[in-house]
Amino acid sequence: MICQRRRRAGAVAIFALDFVGLAYSLFPYQVMGRITLWQPAADASALRFMLVGALIVLPLLLAYTVFAYRVFRGKAQAGLYEQ
């Protein structure tokens, strides 16, 4: 079991390192030789508007998720619908 976990962790590490290496070798281009990372970005004012929206909505979303988990905690049981 431990050997299988080590193999899986090794495979994940190799995949992650491959991805990081590819991203590093292509940086800053999104399309090789044509489009850099900063060219397709929106205007700074639009990005600030989206940031403000995300800063307002994400805490509300997280608060509602916590509230819903607390309301329904303990109401459902494992195997309730099994016959």
Task: Say what the pLDDT of residue 80 is.
Answer: 63
The rounded distance, in Å, linking the Cα atoms of 76 and 80 is 7
Contact predicate 40/30, CB 8 Å? yes
**For the segment 69-83, what is each residue's pLDDT rounded down to a tens digit?**
999 887 767 666 666
Task: Show the tokens assigned to 73.
Answer: 């905690």
The rounded distance, in Å, linking the Cα atoms of 61 and 68 is 11
Task: Say what the pLDDT of residue 4 is.
Answer: 87
**For the segment 11-70, what is each residue's pLDDT rounded down to a tens digit?**
999 999 999 999 898 888 887 778 887 888 888 899 999 999 999 999 999 999 999 999
Task: Say what the pLDDT of residue 39 is.
Answer: 84
* pLDDT at residue 8 tops 80: yes
